Structure 1
Amino acid sequence: MGLAFLPLGLAFGALVTQSDLPWWWAGLSAVLVFGGSFEFLLIGMVTTAVPLAAIALSAFMVNVRHVFYALSFPLHRVHSRLGKAYSSYALCDEAYALATRERARGWSGRRVLWLQLFLHLYWTASSTAGALLGTLIPHGVTGLDFALTALFTVLALDAVRNLRGDLPTPALALLSALAARLLFPDQMLLTAFALFTAGLMARHLMTRRKPSHA
Structure 2
Amino acid sequence: MHDVIAPTQLTAAAPAHTTRRRQITAGVRDSFSAGLGIFPLGIALGLLVLQAGLPGWLAPALSMAAFAGSLELLLVGMLATVTPLAAVALTVLVVNFRHVFYAFSFPLHLVKNRWAKAYSVYAMIDEAYAVNASLPEAERSAPRLLAMQLSCQTYWVGGGLVGLAIGSALPAPIKGLEFALCAMFTVLTLDAFRSRREIPAALLAAASVTAALIVTPGIAMFTALLLFVVLLLVRHALTTRRPAPEAGDA
User: What TM-score range do you get, normalising by the shorter chain?
Assistant: 0.7 to 0.9
Radius of gyration: which is bigger? 2
Q: Is 1:132 aligned with 2:165?
A: yes
What is the alpha-carbon distance in structure 1 between the residues aligned to residue 236 and residue 222 of structure 2?
21
CA contact (8 A) 1:11 1:127 kept: yes
Match for residue 73 of structure 2?
40
Matched, 1:176 2:212: yes
Task: Quote the Cα distance in structure 1 between the aligned partners of 2:89 and 2:67.
Answer: 15
Do the aligned residues in 2 keep the contact of 1:30 with 1:124 (CA within 8 Å)?
Answer: yes
The residue type paired with residue 98 of structure 2 is R
- Aligned CA distance change for structure 1 residues 77 and 26 (closer, same or farther; 3 Å): same
1:150 Cα deviation from its structure 2 partner:
3.3
Cα distance in 1, alignment partners of residues 222 and 189 from structure 2: 18
Superposition pairs of residues 32-181 of structure 1, within 5 angstroms? 32-103=65-136, 105-155=138-188, 163=199, 170-181=206-217
CA distance, structure 2, for counterparts of residue 167 and residue 74 of structure 1: 24
Matched AA of 1:189: M
Residues 13, 134 of structure 1: 8 Å contact kept: yes
Mapped to 2, the partners of 1:112 and 1:199 lie a distance apart of 29
Which of these residues, 225, 230, 239, is aligned with residue 193 of structure 1? 225
- Runs (5+) with no aligned partner, structure 1: 207-214
> Which one-letter code corresponds to 1:64 in the other structure?
F
Number of residue equivalences: 203
Of 45, 57, 63, 1:12 maps to: 45
> Identity over the aligned pairs, expressed in percent?
44
Q: For the residues of structure 1 that align with 2:70 and 2:203, how far apart are their CA atoms?
A: 25
The one-letter amino acid of 1:81's match is R
For residue 88 of structure 1, report the CA deviation from its aligned partner. Answer: 0.6
Where in structure 2 are there 5+ consecutive unaligned residues? Answer: 1-33, 239-250
Rounded Cα–Cα distance in structure 2 between residues aligned with 1:170 and 1:100? 21
Pair 135,179 (structure 1): closer, same or farther in 2 beyond 3 Å: farther
TM-score normalised to structure 2 length:
0.68
Question: For the residues of structure 2 that align with 1:173 and 1:199, how far apart are their CA atoms?
Answer: 12
How far apart, CA to CA, are the structure 2 residues paired with 1:31 and 1:9?
12
